[in-house]
Amino acid sequence: MRRLSEFAKAKVHPGSWWALGLSISILAGQSTNLWFVSSLIGLCVGLILVFRSTAPWARSLPFYLLLASIFVLTRIVFRVIFNGDPNSSDVALSLPHFNLPLGLGQQLSLFGSISWSTLSAATLDGLRLAAIILAVAMSNTLSNPRRLLKSTPAALYEVASAISVAINLAPQLIDSLQRVRRAKGLRGRNSGSSALTSIIIPALEDTLDRSLQLAASMDARGFGRTNRLSMRRQWTNRLVSLGSAIGLAIGAYLLVTASSPALPVVVLTLSLAGLILVIRLTSKRNLKSRFNRQKFGSADLAIFAVCAMSFALVMLLSNQMVGF
Amino acid sequence: MKFMKVIGRAAIVMAAVASLLVFTWPLFISAASTDQAALAQGVFIALMPLMVVMVLVEFAAGDLSTKQLAVLGVLIALNAVIRTLGAGTAGIETAFFLIVIGAYVLGSGFGYILGAASLLVSALLVGGIGPWLPFQMMAAGLVGLGAGLLPKSKRAWLAVSTMIGYAVVASFAYGALMTMWNWPFLAGTGGALSYVAGAPIIENLGRFVQYELITGGLLWDLGRAVTTSVLIALSGKVLLATLSRVASRTGIQKI
Amino acid sequence: MLKLSNLQFDFGNRDPLFSRVNLEFQAGEFALVCGPTGSGKSTFLRCLNGLSPHFTGGNLAGRIEIDSTDVTGWQPHQLADLVGFVNQQPEGAFVTDTVLEELVYGMEQLGVAETEMKSRLEKLAANLHLTELLDRELTELSGGQQQRVAIAAALSAGQRILVLDEPTSALDPKAAADIIALLHRLATEEGITVLLAEHRLERALPSVDSMVIVHGDGSVTKQLPTEAIREFRLVPPVVELSKRLGLTPPCLTAQDERLKTAVVPAFHASSIEQPKDFVGQAALQLDSISVRYGDSLAVDDVTLSVERGEVLALMGENGSGKTSLLWAIQGSGTRSGGTLTTPWGDTAPMTSEERLCVATLVPQKASDLLFLPTVSAELQDSDRFAKAPETTTASLFQRFAGRVDPSLHPRDLSAGQQLALVLAIQLAKGAGILLLDEPTRGLDYTAKRALAGIITELRDQGKAVIVATHDIEFAAQIATDVVVLESGRVKFAGTPAQVFSVNGLLASEVSQALQVDGLFSMEQLS
């Protein structure tokens, strides 16, 4: 186990885990087969158990499992309570039926007879969501967030740096808070409305000082140096970005109001292309180089192959209209 | 130069409009596109992260100095830590008061990044990453963006009460957006509390309010509004002073 | 190489920190920058790489030229490939986790190509003896190694100017000497211009080419070291010592052979004594105190007593249990066994407010106790809380720190002033026992001397003072009694003369320089 997690850490690019997670969630979202979805869930949990490390972000499996089961249960309970179907033939549960008046002439119908088909549809829906959650859990658990931050596009470099500063500061901040809370007793204060500020303020000031010192040190070593983009580039950038935003709004609106998905999908795809262009153009400001950048290797290729193959399978099966 | 900035801001506004559509689509989905609902859900889940990235890039690229980044890092960390400590207690939402105060002092761009990044980092730290995360990031980012636009006041009590008023509105708005997002997922279609494609917006809104009432969503929102207001009332004045002092001492500008 | 013309810096409201500064530095010059606390020497150094005014605020006027290029007003990142900067505490300035990452960080930011990075890295690591350390985590390194990494990181992008702000202040004498030797080598062999701020002048004086003095009255001058030392007000202790021994010209290093052969006049048995009136008046009695956290025993069976008017120095390595013992005495820390007696009773069962009347503790980071926006707010709050007459705390503070603008933010005070403020607040309720945890951290000479004065005054008032410190020179200056802890146990208890003398457990610098039995501190000579 230990060896495998070391292997995952050394050989697999964090982006690959996310690609795998994304493909699993798309598969799960499109599937209508209970067993297939269940096996995807099993796959995710299995991958986590085999490859996870001992880092803090890798310990959240129980949390995700709990969350997934809550989703499945809520989905079923909701159907049972609100989706009573009095005319169904295959009654699975026969519960007393209530009508809840809500005022304004509306009423809410609760319970009643629940059919097998309602129940199995609810279970499938719930399990689909659970599979998506666990797929994300898998990606999140197996990829080091700091490594992933290092591979963010250069356009987001500032934000990614702020986040990695925050991740580094969080433990120090907890230390500061504890230290200050202890120290507060030395001044004889234990409670009162000033408690909040008398702990948070010194800890915040302390952390701010440290963070600004760190920022000064980063700047003094060249952080923040960028290429200047030409005026034309900047204009293209801004206009494409405005165009994509408008496209996104129109596309989203059309998708839920037009009768065919063709036009909105085209509009959204174009806007998406625009967005990617903006991100690439903005990244041109970057002049940084990387020492020993983590490259995609054979392990990553294998993962991508698995993703591609499963997609091919899905296309094939859905063409033949087989329920998968 | 100035005009270019206006276009950038317009792009941000359009992206915000697009994201609001993505949140509230069950309200105005037409009967004709009922079959596209599942597709729309999927597409929106894929689009939301990109919208968040786009607004972040518009605000951050080139405008964010190392100093701002340092302050941002501290506030994100503090937010994540407080949120982690307060997590699990029903209805207690501690992430918002810092977002509002930070944005009030350092501007709406700062507020957007702070809101979005705070939720990301606390999700990274405690494990809460999922398809909902980009939606939470966008909603919290918009809360910060709005707080940056609040009218400023030299008098501390006036500033604090402005922020409290905004915090109450923002808490409910955030709650409504997030509930709206999970509404189609949890209530499905065809149920008494589900949305009805093609129905008038008012009717769907009515069904949504029922859903909020019955699932107790409003109670959570109330909890969020109360905690945020109380925290701002308690710490607003001192935090304003601390942040303004740091900002003026190191010459940090608003973005 | 580096030319400053008519340089001026001010923080807006106040008088300029320095003005009309005209200096020139050659390639390969090793310059020592010194000046009294608050003179602005840190700001002066930070002007050279843009951190002032860009990170500190303030206004810069005049002209800075590097290799005949005007770089006035440039941002730090614009200057990053020209000027390397090293800070007081390396651990606060490290940007990454491992030595390797730290060394390449600057090159990555500046877009150096990967092959070029590799070759520069190899050369640099070999030159600064870091090759074996490349894969280590920065936090595992010793202070001296950390500072070496910081210097290497500041030079990795090929910078020709190196600016260092008190890089040796957190180091032991041996590691500090190594760093100075390294800088000397960089200047002479690599032709790098080195500007070093250092308050322990004697460490650097023998190696430097020139001495820049930031006087604090607005002027900044540059002279040869031998000339500068004659008129400089802030003389290093070894110079003062040689003056007291009547040696002319004064010795510049503690290794000077003349010190060992000098004729030593009669001296007191200790540098400080318990006032006669308080002899025999017990203030604190500890009987086999122990502190246990989980499985580990932080304090193990410690028995000691302190009388009124005594100053006990609690010495020992980090982790020897000094802090745990102080917190246990104060009463709010864990105490797993043993008894504690004071004339006012045991501190453990008291409320935190009652403890303030008996034993008060100033923690390592004194500023943790400050949370109000102005000094005057803190002072008034303290009076109100202590139910003391108005200005009680303020007058204590003024006695400790002199006049300080009460409208200042406590965070803007110097480290020494902050300590004085916290001391005044903590003593407002008149506690008889004062506990200080590493109070000299971050203090310079003058501030340490001021603190010693405060402690002497409190001793005269009959307070019992316990100071946990590993600053041998400071302990030698203020202690009437010494206890040395090791892994939670008392390793040695005795008089300062026994501990700090030539053959003692912790020989002071004066002892080592003079090698005279029983003479361990300059204060004994007066």
Residue-wise pLDDT tens digits, C30-40: 999 988 777 78
User: Is C271 inside a domain boundary?
Assistant: no
Distances (CA, A) of A323 to A24, A132, C408, C492: 17, 19, 74, 82
pLDDT score at C328: 93
**Which range scores top for mean pLDDT: B8-17, B159-168, C193-202, C506-515?**
B159-168
User: Is A29 inside a domain boundary?
Assistant: yes
pLDDT score at A265: 87
Residues C313 and C406 in one domain: yes
Residue type, C169: S
Q: For residue C410, give the DSSP letter.
A: G
Q: Chains meeting A at 3+ CB pairs closer than 8 A?
A: B, C
pLDDT score at A321: 45
Q: Could you give the percent of chain C with pLDDT greater than 70?
A: 98
Residues C217 and C340 in one domain: no
Q: How high does pLDDT run on average in chain C? A: 87
Which residue would you say has higher pLDDT here, B252 or C208? C208
Residues of C within 8 A of B250 (CB-CB) are: 55-57
Residues C348 and C466 in one domain: yes
User: Is C508 inside a domain boundary?
Assistant: yes
Which residue would you say has higher pLDDT here, A177 or C322? C322
User: Is A324 inside a domain boundary?
Assistant: no
Note the CATH number of domain B2-250.
Answer: 1.10.1760.20
Residues of B within 8 A of A205 (CB-CB) are: 242
pLDDT score at B126: 62
Residues A124 and A33 in one domain: yes
- For residue A138, give its domain range: 2-101+108-147+294-319
Indicate yes or no: CB of C426 within 8 angstroms of CB of A186.
yes
pLDDT score at C33: 92
Residues A73 and A142 in one domain: yes
Q: How high does pLDDT run on average in chain A? A: 78
Q: Residue B90: is its pLDDT beyond 60?
A: no
Q: Smallest Cβ distance to B249: which of C57, C371, C373?
A: C57
Backbone angles phi, psi at C70, to 5 degrees: -75, 115
Residues C416 and C328 in one domain: yes
The secondary structure of C292-360 as a DSSP string is EETTEEEEEEEEEEEETT-EEEEE--TTSSHHHHHHHHHSSS---EEEEE-TT--STTS-HHHHTTTEE
Q: Residue A323: is its pLDDT beyond 50?
A: no
Indicate yes or no: CB of C57 within 8 angstroms of CB of B245.
no
User: Is C454 inside a domain boundary?
Assistant: yes
C-beta separation of B21 from A241 below 8 A: no
User: Is A23 inside a domain boundary?
Assistant: yes
d(CA C132, CA C126): 9
- For residue C58, give its domain range: 2-234
User: Is A38 inside a domain boundary?
Assistant: yes
Distances (CA, A) of C91 to A146, A206, A229, C157: 20, 15, 36, 20
d(CA A206, CA C122): 37
User: Is C246 inside a domain boundary?
Assistant: no
Residues A192 and A263 in one domain: no
Q: Residue A150: is its pLDDT beyond 80?
A: no
User: Is C378 inside a domain boundary?
Assistant: yes
Instruction: Indicate the residue among A225, A247, A279 that finishes a domain.
Output: A225
pLDDT band at C70 (very low <50, low <70, confident <90, very high): very high
| A185-199, A280-294, C293-307, range with the lowest pLDDT | A185-199
- Average pLDDT of span C322-341: 91
Q: Chains meeting C at 3+ CB pairs closer than 8 A?
A: A, B
pLDDT score at A324: 45
- Average pLDDT of span C109-127: 90
What ipTM, to 2 d.p.?
0.88
Asked if the C-beta of B245 comes within 8 angstroms of chain C's C-beta atoms, the answer is yes
Instruction: Indicate the residue among A200, A225, A250 that finishes a domain.
Output: A225
Domain limits, chain B: 2-250
Instruction: Indicate the residue among A210, A225, A240 that finishes a domain.
Output: A225
Residue type, A50: V
**Paired tokens of C151:** 């210097």
pLDDT score at A213: 87
* Interface size between A and C, measured as CB pairs under 8 A: 139
Q: Smallest Cβ distance to A220: which of C76, C101, C356?
A: C76
Report the domain count for chain C.
2
User: Is C89 inside a domain boundary?
Assistant: yes
Residues A79 and A122 in one domain: yes
Taking only residues 132 to 171 of chain B, the set having a beta carbon closer than 8 angstroms to any beta carbon of chain A reads none
- Average pLDDT of span A86-97: 67
Q: For residue C98, give the DSSP letter.
A: B
Q: Which residue of C has its CA nearest to B67?
A: C55
Indicate yes or no: CB of A166 within 8 angstroms of CB of B193.
no
Residues C376 and C476 in one domain: yes
d(CA A120, CA B168): 41
**Paired tokens of C73:** 């007003």
Laid out side by side, the sheet with C69-70 consists of C18-25, C2-10, C59-66, C69-70
Mutate to test the interface with A, among B28, B69, B180 (most CBs of A within 10 A): B69
| A53-57, C126-130, C189-193, C499-503, range with the lowest pLDDT | A53-57
Report the domain count for chain A.
3
C-beta separation of A128 from A28 below 8 A: yes
Indicate yes or no: CB of A216 within 8 angstroms of CB of C363.
no
Percent of residues in chain C assigned helix, strand, coil, to nearest 5: 40, 20, 40
For helices B108-126 and B96-106, angle between their N-to-C axes, nearest 10 degrees:
150
Q: Residue A4: is its pLDDT beyond 70?
A: no
CA distance C91 to chain A (A): 10
CA distance C257 to chain A (A): 42
Residues A86 and A184 in one domain: no
C-beta separation of C201 from C21 below 8 A: no
A188: left (phi over 0), alpha (psi -120 to 50) or beta: left
Asked if the C-beta of B67 comes within 8 angstroms of chain A's C-beta atoms, the answer is yes
User: Is C303 inside a domain boundary?
Assistant: yes
Q: For residue C431, give the DSSP letter.
A: -
pLDDT score at A322: 44
Residues of B within 8 A of C43 (CB-CB) are: none
- Average pLDDT of span B225-232: 90
pLDDT score at A183: 83
Q: What is the pLDDT of residues A57-82, one digit of tens each?
A: 666 788 788 878 887 887 787 777 76
Q: Residue B216: is its pLDDT beyond 80?
A: no
Residues A235 and A261 in one domain: yes
Indicate yes or no: CB of C54 within 8 angstroms of CB of B251.
yes
For helices C114-127 and C99-109, angle between their N-to-C axes, nearest 10 degrees:
130
d(CA B166, CA B142): 12
pLDDT score at C36: 75
| C307-311, C314-318, C423-427, range with the lowest pLDDT | C314-318
Residues C340 and C453 in one domain: yes
Chain-centre distance for alpha carbon B90:
19
Which residue would you say has higher pLDDT here, C482 or C401? C482
Helices (H), A143-290: 145-150, 157-186, 194-220, 231-257, 262-283
Residues C292 and C159 in one domain: no
Residues C460 and C319 in one domain: yes
Residues C292 and C189 in one domain: no
Residues A284 and A299 in one domain: no
Residues C451 and C354 in one domain: yes
Distances (CA, A) of B96 to A168, A303, B79, B219, C41: 22, 39, 8, 17, 42
Which residue would you say has higher pLDDT here, C203 or A180? A180
Which residue would you say has higher pLDDT here, C323 or A8? C323
pLDDT score at B88: 46
| A57-71, B4-18, B51-65, range with the lowest pLDDT | A57-71
Strand partners, C494: C482
Indicate yes or no: CB of C352 within 8 angstroms of CB of A188.
yes
Residues A36 and A123 in one domain: yes
User: Is C524 inside a domain boundary?
Assistant: no
Which residue would you say has higher pLDDT here, C487 or C512? C487
Which residue would you say has higher pLDDT here, B249 or B77? B77
